[in-house]
Structure 1
């Protein structure tokens, strides 16, 4: 024997006969994956010519990750106690497989580290099938454990040892929830088998395992045992939880989603009905959110939504459930005892949301409107509650926004009327039930017609002629206003051509809805539809309301400039009722300014204001048009104060095109204090 081998033997073992034992013994340095001592039988087992050759072998390269991990686990266990382990191992000296029953125990190395003393006993009667089974158990990524019926550990394969460690010796201790352990053992008693997906304790971690347990017998003792196989499904479980979260939560705010509302709220309503628990549904919609998105960008808009979500959670807390339905709409479902509780919640939401918040140096203030429906009196199902809260929300917005309203049955009746109107308007467009009436715009001094305003009329099959005030809002809300707008510009172009051919080549003006004005293709649509008629663009004037100049979400000046560039002229309708002024108006390419009719009705009280407007119009070279002129006295005042044009029942009510031709051929005769104006007499008796 080499002297180095003998020296190592004397350093590690004192018995002199240990070298000649027939049982292979060796000490394994787990940290360096090397044999550091062996007896003669072990040298033979490993097919080494010399001890030097054996001790120089680097065994890590031939060792699988699972075996390496298992040896590390044993080493860790040895640091806690002197317990020994018995396992069937297939060793590969010089790549030749030999199977032994190996006993592994603690051995202290000279430098103080913990090594492993291995004792091998040959397995002479094991069949190839059983040898392969034993080898597979040590390599498969499935935890295999054998327990006594009392739950004491009898065996663990490499994967189970890696997951639980050698100290996990009691079956019950593996379960995070002891009810899962009770389920497994109960099923085993009744059915001899059990399966379950549950959380298990793996050291300091919790994992999800799919467990399969079978009642069997210990092959060595014949006693009843529990064979447990476990597959780690933590990744699948986490993915399942993620999918469930995504299905029920809004990604931006983290609140519940519309999908959650549709699936879970009905269950909660049913439970509340059984328990006779009153609930309130609060439907919340941000005021002017679109303008914030359009002016400051979607990033700021998203941050505002996140801010609002956090604010609602701080107010409602765990007392109710909050969901984002989409866009800037949120819903809260919460129990209550007294309406005063809801008043407090609504008031706090409105006050807190009215406070300024800052995002990237942008000060944002987004007020909200709230509609409230109560369960069960306003509905016993989700659809009814949502519909009624939505009606209450619309009433809150109609009331000026930044307020809340409760559902009332009257709102449903009004909604039914509105829906009926919307259906009738759709049919009206298809059946071409609309007609344009024209009201002349007249020179104040000469009483000659200089222009005419196109006004929409609806020939309703049952109601007769319906005025725009009764249906324009419905056209806007349904989006039908764009189809109606296309028809108006085309019809006005055709009528202007008919007038021109008859010798009355003056421009016609058409009114534009804010919904049309904010569309990116607004100017192009006007051009394309007017081009179908052959009418020049300079024969059409576009009338906008004062408020449209101040609208958010679009560049009004840019749009007006485009209109003028292609030939249209611009008039501002109902001036004096909005927020602009003449100093502001002069920055826009405006050709005419129409003073609102309310000034004419109070001309004695408002004459200084009207006089100032007329003077400023002359200074900035804008044509002043007085609306709603109904008396000779009003006309005389306008003549004396040098108003350019007027429009009103004094000269003519709105007329169909055929009647307008008659008026132009035989104009009315008006006598004022400033002199006789030729024309026919007329009686002022039309209703407004």
Structure 2
């Protein structure tokens, strides 16, 4: 009420007569009006004093009952007082309870502290109001009144219990949590062992503190609770003072934060951070049994993302994680540690004997087709395995062992599993050393561009050249691509190499054009570079340079690229040719190509793979077929790898007049290229034309 606040927790007095019975007097409030002490009736629902005798009017500083009834007690009423009044009303209805307590009234904002007895009173319309009887003006000191006021308004739950757990007192905040007539302390806790633990600590130290799950009238909650031994001020008997703060929201927030810190949001598996902590924990334990560590990733996962979108990729990850979980026991652990990478810890009584069977089971289960929006996506996975011996505290190194074994599975062709061996470790160390050397080579400018001429037998001229990267190693001399391309692809340094070759090739063509040398240049584009989202933008920036004639540059892609997402490849090829660059298919005939579809690609050149030249004359029918296909799509045919005159004569007879190979010239440094061109064209004039029967 705006004119009243409660000052102390009530002592509950038995309700002597049911609220359903009406006192026997002619007018409903005649008897109350004749009493000498203050009596009034408060309508809890409408927040009005609907009756007051003369003493009550003096107490409330009102001239008449009508004036008092006109006051809206809800104005400025605190939420705590409003809740307390509703508690009284519930007590009247449910338990026929009478309350006696100290309240401070504020008639015209002047405080008056009164000892009041509250009784339920049924109104003629059936609602329950509150009959208030003032038993006297309280003479308590200000400190007492203020402490009582604080007990009313605080959100801290304060209760007093006997040593057997019987309730003696509850402030309003506590009463709002346990609305039952009496609360038995042992029954509050969800786990009975919590109460036993508290009693033991109270006996030992006299106080205790816990964050515990409790049973409230609103359901399960978490409370930060303090317990202290004390005495009941009314009887002098031993008692327990309990203070509690509801920390349910904080506990849930912390649990959620802990969940977010430990779990992967996409798959609901544990994440890398949790896995690393778990490995540290395993290392600190005295384990009597070995554990198998599996490193698993999905083959060609990026292609699924690129073709169907990240939503499909995320859904695939969820499905894969569910498939893995179906193969695990409660003792096993699964974590997602990267984009499509998972680690699994397998436990068992005989892991060395069981590991192969369990790995095969996981791989077989994971590698089932995945369907997304009516699209069937084939799923394969590669797995690397290492075994952590019992009692070994250095668990982290076995993650690398499993990663090394995973690399071996990839190297063997994917969709395989490999168990780590020391030989794998030695090879991996060598690969790491090579990677470090390569990074240093790029930093110190040890790579250079060499070019190999391509000859047109009909014209007797060098018509183009192919740009090829070479590594001038400070100790091992000039290294060929076979010595570094593989490591570049494995480590991601292929991106650096691709950028180097493209930049150097563009600069070379600019110099040739300025010097009047009209020779085209081809450069190899790795599948990774070709499919990179930023590749077209990079080409576009070069195409806008005024000193570069774009059709002088030809980009060579491997036949395997054409077997990828063909719609996407075709769109990318059209974007490249729209910038003015030409497209050649390198090493043609060694991969898979849909011959009906390849005609739709904007291809200007097909280069016959060297393997067909090496197997002449057996491969003549294949070379004839490739030559005919080139003619059908209007592309030039280049025979690569010509090492001798016999091979030269054979391909010339088939109709391949464009030749590239060491017969004419190996790849040479840029500075030696024009000299090589002069020698080749001189040789053609001297004897090649005569020997091949060409006439001008």
Fold equivalence (TM over 0.5): yes
Q: Distance in 2 between matches of 1:366 and 1:263?
A: 31
Q: Is the 8 A contact 1:560 1:589 kept in 2?
A: yes
Could you tell me how far 1:384 is from its partner in structure 2?
A: 0.9
Q: Distance in 1 between matches of 2:157 and 2:510?
A: 90
Q: Distance in 2 between matches of 1:394 and 1:160?
A: 63
Aligned to 2:6: none
1:256 aligns with 2:256: no
Q: Distance in 2 between matches of 1:664 and 1:461?
A: 29
Provide structure 1 residue ranges, at least 5 long, that are not aligned to the other structure: 1-6, 680-688
Aligned to 1:140: 154
1:99 aligns with 2:113: yes
Aligned to 2:295: 283
Counterpart mapping for 1:79-90 below 5 A: 79-90=93-104
Q: Distance in 1 between matches of 2:25 and 2:338?
A: 77
Aligned to 2:394: 381
Could you tell me how far 1:505 is from its partner in structure 2?
A: 4.2
> Comparing 375-384 with 328-337, which one deviates more in the overlay?
375-384
Could you tell me how far 1:593 is from its partner in structure 2?
A: 0.8
Measured against aligned partners, the alpha-carbon deviations of 1:539-597 in whole angstroms (never above 9, x if no partner) come to 33322211123345994334433443444332211101111144333222222211112
Measured against aligned partners, the alpha-carbon deviations of 1:183-233 in whole angstroms (never above 9, x if no partner) come to 433333333333322222212512222222333333333333222221212
> Comparing 513-522 with 568-577, which one deviates more in the overlay?
513-522
Aligned to 1:683: none
Q: Distance in 1 between matches of 2:105 and 2:24?
A: 27
Counterpart mapping for 1:109-124 below 5 A: 116-124=130-138
Q: Pick from 189, 192, 205 the counterpart of residue 191 of structure 1.
A: 205
Aligned to 2:141: 127
Q: Is the 8 A contact 2:292 2:351 kept in 1?
A: no
Counterpart mapping for 1:509-548 below 5 A: 509-522=522-535, 525=538, 536-548=549-561
Aligned to 1:454: 467
3-state SS of the aligned residue for 2:554? strand
- C-alpha change, 1:665 and 1:252, in structure 2 (3 Å) is closer
Q: Pick from 243, 248, 262 the counterpart of residue 234 of structure 1.
A: 248
Aligned to 1:676: 691
> Comparing 20-29 with 183-192, which one deviates more in the overlay?
20-29
- C-alpha change, 1:564 and 1:80, in structure 2 (3 Å) is closer
> Comparing 180-189 with 146-155, which one deviates more in the overlay?
180-189
- C-alpha change, 1:11 and 1:373, in structure 2 (3 Å) is farther
Measured against aligned partners, the alpha-carbon deviations of 1:456-478 in whole angstroms (never above 9, x if no partner) come to 32222332332101201222344
Aligned to 1:312: 324
- C-alpha change, 1:33 and 1:401, in structure 2 (3 Å) is same
3-state SS of the aligned residue for 2:81? helix
Could you tell me how far 1:361 is from its partner in structure 2?
A: 4.1
| TM-score, reference length from structure 1 | 0.86
Q: Distance in 1 between matches of 2:29 and 2:629?
A: 122
3-state SS of the aligned residue for 1:516? helix
Aligned to 1:685: none
Q: Is the 8 A contact 2:115 2:138 kept in 1?
A: no
Aligned to 1:298: 310
- C-alpha change, 1:500 and 1:214, in structure 2 (3 Å) is closer
Could you tell me how far 1:278 is from its partner in structure 2?
A: 1.8
Aligned to 1:423: 436
Q: Distance in 1 between matches of 2:509 and 2:183?
A: 98
Q: Distance in 1 between matches of 2:448 and 2:667?
A: 12
Measured against aligned partners, the alpha-carbon deviations of 1:444-493 in whole angstroms (never above 9, x if no partner) come to 56765433333332222332332101201222344433443344345446
3-state SS of the aligned residue for 2:212? strand
1:481 aligns with 2:494: yes
Could you tell me how far 1:83 is from its partner in structure 2?
A: 4.7
- C-alpha change, 1:395 and 1:460, in structure 2 (3 Å) is same
Aligned to 2:581: 568
- C-alpha change, 1:46 and 1:579, in structure 2 (3 Å) is same
Measured against aligned partners, the alpha-carbon deviations of 1:413-433 in whole angstroms (never above 9, x if no partner) come to 111111111121222223333
1:165 aligns with 2:183: no
Q: Distance in 2 between matches of 1:412 and 1:652?
A: 41
Q: Distance in 1 between matches of 2:98 and 2:559?
A: 93
Q: Distance in 2 between matches of 1:242 and 1:651?
A: 71
3-state SS of the aligned residue for 2:336? strand
Q: Distance in 1 between matches of 2:630 and 2:391?
A: 55
Which structure carries more relative contact order (alpha carbon 8 Å, separation 6+)?
2
| TM-score, reference length from structure 2 | 0.85
Q: Distance in 1 between matches of 2:566 and 2:385?
A: 29
Could you tell me how far 1:30 is from its partner in structure 2?
A: 4.2
Aligned to 1:684: none
- C-alpha change, 1:494 and 1:212, in structure 2 (3 Å) is closer
